[in-house]
């Protein structure tokens, strides 16, 4: 949108400049340069370069948070923030950041990418080294450019996250089946204790849950499983969590959290 406005400005400036040149030689004085068409040169010389410069800095993103056309419906991967630096541009006091990420894809690929994005001031705390952000990427692209998947639904993000974990060996095919096909329920955390073990970037915990079935009856289950460290504050004793389990098989449950599951 912003790039289109920039080029429309250039086009209007070009037309007005042409009219300015023509009428400048046909005025009563024979050299009537100071006429209404002088807006054309002003647009071309002063306004259009500024707009085009801002458009280049935006890196193809609309200032209203729109998704660049080439990334629309592109696959979603999960990116871990390496660094986030301000570009110097701000739109409505919202800073633009160059976000460097290590990206994992659902097909098991890994690469380093860069997202240039206008970030709301209230969301800056989420863009810090180590944070995980969903991104859209172009398979096979060599430029490393990605876009934050701000247009994706929660279901799309959850599915992409699960597939990335499966590709990295952090989720078994059975756990993926539970996450995708399981019955949704709620559970109370009865006990949780870290074991001190790490599996990749995940902490291994012992957790005991009391799960409510759809008919309001309950069952208890104890599990030994790795979870992302960001999930640990959400599974403290006494907290209620969303879970999934396969109908007729209550031997394993998946704990569901926003944009993550374990």
Please give the share of the chain, as a percent, with pLDDT higher than 90: 35
Residue 92 pLDDT grade (very low, low, confident, very high; cuts 50, 70, 90)? confident
Q: How far apart are CA 30 and CA 24, in angstroms?
A: 7
Statement: residue 241 has pLDDT above 70: yes
Distance between CA atoms of 186 and 253, rounded to whole angstroms?
Answer: 11
CATH number of 69-152: 2.40.50
- Confidence at residue 226, expressed as pLDDT on a 0 to 100 scale: 85
pLDDT of residue 258: 58
Quick: pLDDT tens for 169-228. 878 898 889 988 888 899 999 999 999 998 877 889 999 999 999 888 999 999 998 887
pLDDT in tens, 31-84: 454 445 444 445 445 444 444 443 444 444 444 456 788 898 899 999 999 999
* DSSP secondary structure string for all residues of 27-95: STTS---SSGGGHHHHIIIIIHHHHHHHHHHHTT--TT-PPPGGGTT--EEEEEEEEEEEEEEEETTEE
Contact 89, 58 (CB under 8 A): yes
What pLDDT score was predicted for residue 145? 93
**How confident is the model at residue 130, as a pLDDT?**
87
b vs e for 62-72, b when ≥16 Cβ sit within 10 Å of the residue's Cβ?
bbeeebbeebe
Residue 83 confidence (pLDDT): 95
Select from 77, 67, 66 the least CA-distant residue to 137: 77
Tens digit of each residue's pLDDT (9 = 90 or more) over 126-149 = 888 988 899 999 998 888 899 999
> What is the mean pLDDT of the segment spanning 222-239?
88
Tokens of 82: 């390496």
Do residues 255 and 243 touch, judged by C-beta distance below 8 A? yes
């Amino acid at each position: 949108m912003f790039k289109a406005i920039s080029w429309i400005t250039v086009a209007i400036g070009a037309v007005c400049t042409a009219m300015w040149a023509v009428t400048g030689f046909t005025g009563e004085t024979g050299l009537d340069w100071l006429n209404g068409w002088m807006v054309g040169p002003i647009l071309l010389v002063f306004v259009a370069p500024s707009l085009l410069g801002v458009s280049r800095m935006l890196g193809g993103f609309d200032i209203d948070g729109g998704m660049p056309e080439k990334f629309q419906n592109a696959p979603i991967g999960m990116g871990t923030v390496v660094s986030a630096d301000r570009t110097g541009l701000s739109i409505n006091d919202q800073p633009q950041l160059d976000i460097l990420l290590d990206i994992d894809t659902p097909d098991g690929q890994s690469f380093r990418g860069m997202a240039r994005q206008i970030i709301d001031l209230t969301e800056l705390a989420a863009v810090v080294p180590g944070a995980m952000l969903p991104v859209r990427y172009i398979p096979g692209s060599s430029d490393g450019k990605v876009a934050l998947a701000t247009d994706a639904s929660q279901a799309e993000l959850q599915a992409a996250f699960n597939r990335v974990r499966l590709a990295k060996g952090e989720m078994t095919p059975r756990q993926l089946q539970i996450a995708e096909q399981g019955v949704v329920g709620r559970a109370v955390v009865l006990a949780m204790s870290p074991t001190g073990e790490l599996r990749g970037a995940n902490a291994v915990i012992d957790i005991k849950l009391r799960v409510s079935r759809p008919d309001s009856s309950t069952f208890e289950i104890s599990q030994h499983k790795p979870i992302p460290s960001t999930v640990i504050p959400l599974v403290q004793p006494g907290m209620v969590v969303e879970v999934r389990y396969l109908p007729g098989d209550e031997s394993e449950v998946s704990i569901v959290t926003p944009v993550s599951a374990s």
